[in-house]
Structure 1
Amino acid sequence: MFYLDSWQLPSSIAMLVFVSSYFKPFSNVLAGLILGIFVTFSHYLLFYHLDWEREVVKKPIEIRGKVSKILNRGSYSYIKLDVAALDKFHVPPFKTVYANVAIANGAESLAQGDEITGHGKVRLFRSRKNFNVFDAELYAFRNHIHFKGKMNIDSITPVKIGWQEAYRAFIFKVFRNYELGWLYYVLLSGDKSHITSQDIESFRELGLSHIMAISGLHIGILFTLGFALLKTAVFILPKKIHQGININIGCLVGALCLAGIYVIVSGMQVSAQRAWLMAALGVLCYFLGLRLSLIRTIVYVLTLIVFFSPFSLLNIGLYFSFSAVIAILWLLSQQKQLCSRKHSVLFKLKWWVLLQGVVFLFLLPWSVYTFQGVSVSGLIINLVMIPFLGMVLFPAIVAQCFVSLLFDLQLIGGLDSLLSASYYVIKNWQYNWLSMGNITLQELALTLLFILLVLSRITARYACIPAFILTARWLTLSSPEWQVDFFDVGHGSAVLISRDGEAILYDLGANYFGTYSIFENVILPYVRANNISLVHTIVSHDDGDHAGGLTHLISNGYSDSLHAFHGGKYQQPCVNGTVRFGKLTVTAIWPKEKQNNDNNSSCVVRISDDQYSLLLPGDIESSSESKLIKMNRKLLSSTFLLAPHHGSKTSSSIDFVRSVGGEVVVFSRGFHSPWALPHQEVIARYDQAGYKMFDTALDGHVQIRMFSNHYEVFLAREAKNLWFLR
């Protein structure tokens, strides 16, 4: 569905047409695929597509909208604007259009919910595209963020905040003085804006991320609490209820409504929708006296979610959520009398441990595919945390909210201190997280197919087929001898040279406004995802687009990697010399002495083996290029080249381009470059010299893998080529 103009879709349809002509049951699959395409495209046109979006970009326009969220306030103020109109175009009431906007004036008086009018410029949302890193473009699409821009505010109309904002403000006020107040706030609101990146990372390593994602666990707890409270209220009523009234149905519907309100105030997360729909289906079946099988229950709920929100299939949380549910329902179906009073407490404890183990195994492939690892401690922590959340923590924080309506009283201070101390201890355990490296989408699919086949006695015999294919794939897959990654970092550069799990990093990208570090958000996640040890770091020069992440490199424990080329105490320019890196020779060949400016003092590095070589020249200009040619022309000869100074016409002289004599050149630059890089003259020079050109602004992350007798180039924008993101 998401590859409408690629070969996969027509080939899949052709195969289904052929198979269904001989096997009639497959005609239902074909009909389902066609319906899926129709629903997806209709949903896109109705809720996502703007036929006028290109008519409002890159020109002065009037901007009107409502402040949805204040992303950053200060000298650099940034808001998320719920757009009402851009220029003469108005947003229809059934569509949501957001724009991330930098505010030039009046930001200090803005509040969430204010309606503002102003003038400025917008452009279509576009972000960096890298392998194994958070996909900001896909996130923006799913959340209806169409534009970025800048504006000057002409008028501000304060508006009374809505009920959801008022609810969240109340919850935040109730728990703001607690040590883990951010956690209680998330549990009751679903809003994660107050969580630090460190806490997100800690919860992931502890296997507790599901607690912060409103899911079946939360809906189940609230549904159960609601049912119990309503049932209790019915029995303590002074008047007797007529025997003809089914009390259970009334309580179930009431609990379902309460859970539905919780789903709405928590942001309508996919996992919460799934859980509520399953609860609603259960209530309906109870009312009608029906019994549904495991497969039918899951299929019905998934069909409803996909029908009303087909792009939720792009949310990895959907797969975590349904995999956990399948694991639980499958295990319970194997022992239907589990909850019987005949079983001892010890038996039920054993089954609880088994249940956690089964859920862990079902989620393992998804965890490795998404996070390149798995939480080991989470298997143990969840044995305690899940029942504690349902029986103690959730009722306690709900009670605290009700008490706070009448009294300014901290009801759960002791519980908060205990939890905070426990959290501090367990997050510092040494072996919380096991890194397992990357697996491809094909390997994930084969692993999941193996699990599904094993679940049934009828199909278990066929599980050996995906297992054999997966094993053969791993045994025959050849690893590159070394690899070069040119990250898409916008205007700037960051290049990683890796072999056998170790790497050299050349440049660190920028640090935007002190709030967004390329090193921490692009380079470091990639390094960790691929289990890479950073041995050496070379900073070409101290310009912000090359050395912006230096403080974050040091704060993350990589200061020793600077020593070989920048001395024990960091210095510029770099230290010339040669370092052996396995079979690779790494040579800093320039500058011999400090030049007339930082650009010309860039550290020029050549990395080579017996067959291929890479030249990294930083931002040197034509004057330094000429000196390098005179000094040692042969030393410049390389297979791959990072274009000097991002393709500026002050660099890449004809003599330099010819002296390198490479096969591939990569331009590392931003898509919206005010300097119109790479310059057309520079492109012409490389073209005439026979180079194959790649551009991180157009191709995204450029990855080159070197094998014994050939090399392969992979591009992030080709790998993530979704039709609605082009």
Structure 2
Amino acid sequence: MRLVLLGFAIGVVILQTLPALPPAWMLAAFLVFGVAGMMLMRRLERHDANDANSVQDSGDAIVASGLDWRRAFPKAIACLLAGIAAGLCWACLVAQYALGDALPPEWEGRDITLTGTVSSLPSRSQDGLRFQFAVESAQADAGPAVVPRHLALSWYGSYGMQRGKDGQAVPDLRPGERWQLAVRLKRPHGNVNPFGFDYEVWLLEQGLRATGSVRPGAANRRLDAFVVAPGHVVERCRGWLRDRIHAALPGREYAGVIVALVIGDQREISQPDWKIFNRTGIGHLVSISGLHITMVAGMMAALVSALWRRSFFTGLALPVRLPAQQAAALAGMLTALVYVLLAGFGVPAQRTLYMLGVVGLALWTGRLTQVIDVLCLALAVVLLLDPWAVLWPGFWLSFGAVAIILYASAGRIAPGPAQSRLGGIARQLRAAAHVQAVVTLGMVPLTLLLFGQVSLISPVANAFAIPLVSFVVTPLSLAGSILPAPLGQAALLAAHGLVAGLAACLGWLSSLPQAVWSTALPAWWMFAAALAGCLWMLAPAGWPARWLGAGGLLPMLLNAPAHPAEGELWATFFDVGQGAAVLIETPGHALLYDAGPLYGPDSDGGSRVILPYLRARGIQSLDGMVLSHSDADHTGGASSILDEIRVGWLSSSLPPDHALVRRAPRHVRCEAGQAWDWDGTRMSMLHPTPGSYDNPKWKPNARSCTLKLTHGTHALLLTGDIEAPQERELLGARAADLPATVLLAPHHGSGTSSTEAFLRAVHPELAIFQAGYRNRYHHPKAEVFERYGRLGVQRMRTDVTGAVTLVFAQDWSASAERVEHARYWQGR
């Protein structure tokens, strides 16, 4: 049965890597194959039983061992293949059902009036509110509209019934309210970049099949204060707890951490705090994590078990009616369920609940006696209910940590009873330290595979953070959120004080120079070698030469970042939405041209797109960064990049008093005529002219730093946001320098740029448009896009292709992320 369950997991993983869902006939073939495998397995079991009886009668042990081997291998293969077929079929059916609830393309961007309920706890920000909406009906001017059942909506403006940037009032939404809203919707779409977060599959997993924004107008009105439904009750309770915490901790720095521990909402934790928590390896504690759910459930189970066993003194004799073990299992499960509901029934918390459910069932029935059986069944249950769980690091970290602990504790001789209470405490501390050491070492390969870095101070930080947060801060936070005002406020203040002290210690640890060790994401064979090495080192005492396992880690630890070969030039055009960011790489240098847009107060193209890519590649410094001009869609991510990695110099057209100029280690004003050579590639600045800086009439777009890269017979022209007048100026002053193989379309393909004369002078083979999906500027303009096509230019736009990667050598090639790593959910 274990192999069937493991095969089921493998089948689910295979399905999530496919570019398209298998057709019906292939699905039917999988089903037939799976049934055949199960029938073969049953037949082999019957043969095993008959052969075993025959051999037992003959008493031939050698024959018995031969038969065991010959029967076990085909049986194992049959079990594994049957599980793979079942996993493929199940994940495919779930995906087809989820994708069926879609927004038709013809309904994108149209005004629709919805009636429905607020189904989640709204997230507040400086821009307004974000919330989930359960649709009951949808109407348009022409009649009923076709929309998905669940939506992710944004209501932009200032929070609290104040007039926002769109001239509309943003009310204080509460879960369970029924509203009529005027909205515009679009199909699920996210930026697609190498090593980036996949927003589209996250929406699919959450059941949110369209996103949109609330439009201003009188049509937006509350219809009912509360609609009774189980989910609404839970979300309203979560909102009540959040409000109590905010009332008790007004303006406190770490109130967001307390909110995260009580209701699992991490959106109020600032990015600087997240940076500290992640660098010290305690990010898993700052939420309703599996550890906290297990701890709370275990404490309740232990309390119920103790009271249940002592009920004889009251005359109830409860163990006679229900064994204490079953009562404790039931109490622990109910407690875990309530805590997971407080967490908003999020997917990570669900995984823990399902695992605890399997354990509780095992204790209740007494059927599953081996922990490995419990783990395999929990794995299958999680994937049965959420086949997309395999796409997230938390899934692999959760099951990986448990598996490593089981492996490291198997086959060990249990110590005898402690001689004293003090000896028992010392033994428990040694056991806890051993488990922490096992998890730290055993999870190194997986952590490097998923994140490309390992916190070297994590064992120290977790040694005091785990007991403090799990056994003191979390209980205080939970108690403070429900106790009456004086007691509750005191408990919350105490919890906040402890968190503040913990954060101070973690901040000091995080500031240490070698707090985190980083490398490029390893190849699969490096991960396999490192995992084998860790398993060898964690083998039971007496295993020969366990120290040799360290050799398996060497390829991963010595993994060098990939870079262009001699004679090559790489250019990566990131999919940053409505903005620009291009990474240029030669064999020995790296340059970033523009840094993407600003998405919000704590989010930008640098932190969300560029830095994850650089970390995954093992690029820890940039020789230079060019910011074409001051618009936020080109400079929004620059601050995050300057914060995180070393940048040799900054070249821009920014004014001298600009914040980014003051922060740069060295700033050079970009001017036409500047040039330098990197590894056989000539970098030439074509625009702006020095005199343009003295002309106050020029807007920032007009001073966009225009950079040409010449590599052998090929060239790449990066134009920023220059418009028609600047194109004419270049035609007059530098026409001979304009021809290029690839052109970054000026100003994202706006109607005020890409004149026909300019395009004929550049004569590109490929034009790349960096623009956001259904952006409000309608870039690229249809007539401009068509102009490129009419001139025979190949066109790629990042909102359609995802990130684009160019490789220049003797020849040149272009690849699109949505093509090279296509997945069945993209564009649907």
- TM-score in terms of structure 2 length: 0.75
* 2:823 equivalent in structure 1: 722
Amino acid at match of 1:132: F
**Residues 373 and 436, structure 1, Cα contact 8 Å, conserved in 2:** yes
Tell me: CA distance 1:468–1:445, structure 2 relative to 1, closer, same or farther (3 Å). closer
Indicate yes or no: 2:657 matched with 1:562. no
SS in 1 for 2:685: strand
2:629 to 541, 562, 583: 541
Q: Distance in 2 between matches of 1:514 and 1:284?
A: 46
* 1:486 equivalent in structure 2: 573
Amino acid at match of 2:726: S
SS in 2 for 1:427: helix
Indicate yes or no: 2:231 matched with 1:169. no
Q: Distance in 1 between matches of 2:792 and 2:554?
A: 41
Indicate yes or no: 2:517 matched with 1:434. yes
Task: Give the superposed CA RMSD.
Answer: 4.3
- Identical-pair percentage: 22
* 2:136 equivalent in structure 1: 84
* 1:322 equivalent in structure 2: 399
Q: Distance in 1 between matches of 2:125 and 2:464?
A: 40
2:736 to 611, 628, 634: 634
* 1:665 equivalent in structure 2: 767
Indicate yes or no: 2:383 matched with 1:306. yes
- TM-score in terms of structure 1 length: 0.85
Amino acid at match of 2:582: V
Q: How far has the Cα of 1:317 moved from its partner?
A: 1.1
**Residues 509 and 549, structure 1, Cα contact 8 Å, conserved in 2:** yes
**Residues 56 and 86, structure 1, Cα contact 8 Å, conserved in 2:** no
Amino acid at match of 2:263: S
SS in 2 for 1:724: coil
Q: Decide which moves more: 342-351 or 689-698.
A: 342-351
* 1:250 equivalent in structure 2: 327
Q: How far has the Cα of 1:129 moved from its partner?
A: 1.8
2:278 to 177, 201, 204: 204
CA displacement 1:210-249 (0-9 Å, x = unmatched)? 1134343213211221123224434665513436342333
Write out aligned runs for 1:495-506 (5 A).
Answer: 495-499=582-586, 503-506=590-593
2:180 to 117, 120, 129: 117
SS in 2 for 1:280: helix
Q: How far has the Cα of 1:353 moved from its partner?
A: 2.9
Amino acid at match of 1:436: T
**Residues 628 and 653, structure 2, Cα contact 8 Å, conserved in 1:** no
Mind listing any 5+ residue stretches in structure 2 that lack a counterpart? 1-14, 41-72, 158-165, 227-231, 662-667
* 1:194 equivalent in structure 2: 268
**Residues 156 and 170, structure 2, Cα contact 8 Å, conserved in 1:** no
SS in 2 for 1:335: coil
Q: Distance in 1 between matches of 2:727 and 2:544?
A: 65
CA displacement 1:283-318 (0-9 Å, x = unmatched)? 433344445334322211111111122122223211
Write out aligned runs for 1:612-691 (5 A).
Answer: 612-648=714-750, 650-673=752-775, 676-679=778-781, 682-683=784-785, 686-687=788-789, 691=793
Tell me: CA distance 1:100–1:254, structure 2 relative to 1, closer, same or farther (3 Å). same
1:2 to 5, 8, 16: 16
Q: How far has the Cα of 1:450 moved from its partner?
A: 6.9
Amino acid at match of 1:434: W
Amino acid at match of 1:492: G
Q: How far has the Cα of 1:272 moved from its partner?
A: 3.5
2:369 to 286, 292, 295: 292
SS in 2 for 1:488: coil
Q: Distance in 1 between matches of 2:775 and 2:489?
A: 55
SS in 2 for 1:725: coil
Write out aligned runs for 1:407-422 (5 A).
Answer: 407=487, 409-411=489-491, 413=493, 416-422=496-502
Q: Distance in 2 between matches of 1:582 and 1:442?
A: 33
Write out aligned runs for 1:243-642 (5 A).
Answer: 244-245=320-321, 246-335=323-412, 337=414, 340-341=417-418, 348-401=428-481, 403-404=483-484, 407=487, 409-411=489-491, 413=493, 416-428=496-508, 429-430=511-512, 431-439=514-522, 444=527, 479-480=564-565, 481-499=568-586, 503-512=590-599, 516-530=603-617, 531-549=619-637, 561-562=649-650, 569=657, 574-580=670-676, 582-583=678-679, 584-592=681-689, 593-594=691-692, 597-598=698-699, 599-610=701-712, 612-642=714-744
Q: Distance in 2 between matches of 1:216 and 1:556?
A: 30
CA displacement 1:663-690 (0-9 Å, x = unmatched)? 4321112221455544566556655766
Tell me: CA distance 1:317–1:409, structure 2 relative to 1, closer, same or farther (3 Å). closer
Q: Decide which moves more: 317-326 or 534-543.
A: 534-543
Amino acid at match of 2:372: I
SS in 1 for 2:743: strand
Q: Distance in 2 between matches of 1:395 and 1:352?
A: 21
Q: Distance in 2 between matches of 1:658 and 1:234?
A: 86
Q: Distance in 2 between matches of 1:305 and 1:400?
A: 32
* 1:240 equivalent in structure 2: 315
Q: Distance in 1 between matches of 2:85 and 2:677?
A: 53
Tell me: CA distance 1:155–1:6, structure 2 relative to 1, closer, same or farther (3 Å). closer
SS in 2 for 1:145: coil
**Residues 666 and 696, structure 1, Cα contact 8 Å, conserved in 2:** yes
Q: Distance in 1 between matches of 2:173 and 2:334?
A: 35
Q: How far has the Cα of 1:608 moved from its partner?
A: 3.3
* 2:220 equivalent in structure 1: 154
Amino acid at match of 1:307: L
Tell me: CA distance 1:683–1:358, structure 2 relative to 1, closer, same or farther (3 Å). same
Amino acid at match of 2:715: S
Tell me: CA distance 1:705–1:336, structure 2 relative to 1, closer, same or farther (3 Å). farther
Mind listing any 5+ residue stretches in structure 1 that lack a counterpart? none
Tell me: CA distance 1:109–1:550, structure 2 relative to 1, closer, same or farther (3 Å). same
Indicate yes or no: 2:189 matched with 1:126. yes
**Residues 84 and 91, structure 1, Cα contact 8 Å, conserved in 2:** no
2:806 to 696, 701, 704: 704
Q: How far has the Cα of 1:553 moved from its partner?
A: 6.2
CA displacement 1:586-617 (0-9 Å, x = unmatched)? 32121223277434432211123446432112
